[in-house]
Structure 1
């Protein structure tokens, strides 16, 4: 009788385990299906843009028009050379690099001062820094435009870089990361008489490589996608950035009809630099988002 009960118990446990495994498998299938839908929704517009950029005119009238065409080399050459889109991309690259380097330097010093040093009213200062996030960027355009004109910076790279060097978001992310560094390391550095610059160069920065790379990618994408402020402050077409260059492509109507193939070629070229960076440095980028979430 005891053996029968034990056998029945084993069968029940086995059936329960099979049911639990089946439920987990169904949950995994549902999750993967949702991720597949999300990937298709994100990739499909990019695939359409790539296909259109290889057409002669870029007009889509049916599903068959979504197949790649034979004008890819000609379209991309025309965009880069005839429309000088390579110059626009170079201007965007220069602007983005200057913004990333300057913003990173300022944010590291600010976060280090807030976390590790006795600054009068530093909590209030930090709250004021966060308060700047509540101000929409377009609100600052009128005073910034007047300031750039007074300084004589209009139509220069200084006008599209200096206003973006301060970043409350970057200061917040770095502050959260610095707070996660064990206090024993900080105390050891103090006991060894390490100065502020040495502490930053030999302690903070080596321990923050992943976060710094992730923050740099976020700042690069943000700077690369700037459109409204360069459109306002830059008058010369030769000094314009890639996002405004796309608008210039759209404004060039050929025979009364917009050449969508050229517009999509320019859009694809504009997408490539931030996309490549996000793919190459995806791990530190995810690490940065996890720190921000905590």
Structure 2
């Protein structure tokens, strides 16, 4: 039996509280700045407690009301673009990865492992490496300033394909034999057996890929030149003016808080499935 040491318990809690404070303090400053006027935000020292302009600042951010320098695109529209892009990327990655892993594991065809390694090798070619030719293809297809241009080049995922392949390899062959004896075809086996078994892994991947799609910056920066197609991450950058023009930091901070809400909601709502998909070994 291990005896509990009160001093070590207090030390552990102190370290945890310190870690929470380090993470939470910038978020608190961001929220406080979003509730003050721009004059109060830029003064020194900046207030550390919320002000009385919360509704005014968030209304200005959501509907694109402002008089300072930088972009004044409505944040509501930018969040919609980010939501559609993140959902398209996450759902598209999962769908393509499921089907590709299913084909590699359960079908026997020539050069099967060569195809798998060809997919796997693309892990060494992230978007930043192939961004030039990818942009050229998207431009030639007329997909600039479109949802397809934002999402389609980021849909393929070697990581998700690899994870699904490793999971499918653990599924007993007896399940496939039983399904075949019951008259189920390959797609029926995929839909009725493999999909339910991989539900927790799919949920974990959805959370990861949704946040990945929501936080995209470099690719949208290249393929969007119109304010109506700015994702919210790009919108925050465009709201910060250069030169002598005044940046409305209170609106920028309100936008940053709004941009954090959807990913946080996805993580909170799917936390149980997310954790289970990462640690569950009873497949």
Q: Same fold (TM over 0.5)?
A: yes
Q: Cα distance 1:60–1:38, how it changes in 2: closer, same or farther (>3 A)?
A: farther
Q: Tell me the equivalent position of 1:59.
A: 42
Report the structure number with the largest CA radius of gyration.
1
SS at match of 1:138: coil
CA contact (8 A) 1:173 1:291 kept: no
1:97 has 2:87 as partner: yes
State the TM-score, normalizing by the size of structure 2: 0.87
1:281 counterpart (255, 270, 274): 270
1:108 counterpart (57, 81, 98): 98
Offset of 1:109 from its aligned partner? 0.2
Q: Tell me the equivalent position of 1:146.
A: 136
Q: Tell me the equivalent position of 1:8.
A: none
Q: Tell me the equivalent position of 1:129.
A: 119
Q: Cα distance 1:31–1:128, how it changes in 2: closer, same or farther (>3 A)?
A: farther
Q: Alignment RMSD, CA only? A: 2.3
Q: Tell me the equivalent position of 1:257.
A: 246
Q: Tell me the equivalent position of 2:50.
A: 68
Tell me the alpha carbon deviations over residues 165-208 of structure 1, each in whole angstroms, 9 at most, x when there is no partner.
10111112222322333443233223323211111111111122
CA contact (8 A) 2:201 2:278 kept: no
Q: Which runs of 5+ in 1 are unaligned?
A: 1-16
Offset of 1:150 from its aligned partner? 1.4
Q: Cα distance 1:136–1:100, how it changes in 2: closer, same or farther (>3 A)?
A: closer
Offset of 1:30 from its aligned partner? 4.5
1:46 counterpart (19, 27, 47): 27
Q: Cα distance 1:179–1:28, how it changes in 2: closer, same or farther (>3 A)?
A: farther
CA contact (8 A) 1:243 1:270 kept: yes
Q: How many residues align?
A: 271
Distance 2:101 2:153 in 1: 19
* Larger proportion of helix: 1
